[in-house]
Amino acid sequence: MPIDVSEQIEKAMERGEFKDLPGKGEPLKLDTNPFLTPQARMANRLLKENGFAPRWIELEKEIKQEKAQLERLLRNLKARRERLATFIAQHPHRHEAVSRSFEYERARGIARYTEKLENLNKKIQRVNLLMPTRNRQYGLTNKETALDRFEENCPSL
């Protein structure tokens, strides 16, 4: 008569055969990627053990940072515009000088924003070439849409 596997496990547990197993209380090591070749898995493991990551992972981090920088640049310039608009409302005689100064600041902001967008798209293209699977690739940021958003959030005074 065949013995049920679950019965065998229960009996072994009662005898204490599962106590003090190696790795007890430690997280499972589930870092194997079935889509990578054994050579790529070994390279990734060596990188990870030595505090490094594959280039595409590093680029992903940089992309997230650059997107945050773009948002911060826009948010800061928008806040500056709002403060100046309040100042102009309180001091209408200063409108022309403040507007001219802000236009210069805004033009520099647009130039920085455009440059950062172009750098972001270059990094996205690079990471997409290095990405091991296509389903994780990034879409490029549409420059015209982003600049329209900039204009909408930060128009002239």
Apex 85 CA angle, 144 and 155, nearest 5: 10
pLDDT of residue 30: 64
Contact 34, 44 (CB under 8 A): no
Domain positions in the chain are 55-153
The verdict on pTM exceeding 0.85 is no
pLDDT of residue 124: 96
CA distance 126 to 104: 33
pLDDT of residue 97: 95
Residues in Cβ contact with 156 at an 8 Å cutoff, skipping those fewer than 6 apart: 99, 102, 103, 106
CA distance 4 to 11: 11
pLDDT tens string for the chain (157 positions)?
Answer: 556 788 888 888 888 887 887 877 787 676 677 777 888 888 878 878 888 888 888 999 999 999 999 999 999 999 999 999 999 999 999 999 999 999 999 999 999 999 999 999 999 999 999 988 888 889 999 999 999 999 999 999 9
pLDDT of residue 31: 64
Rg (CA), the chain: 28
Contact 48, 120 (CB under 8 A): no
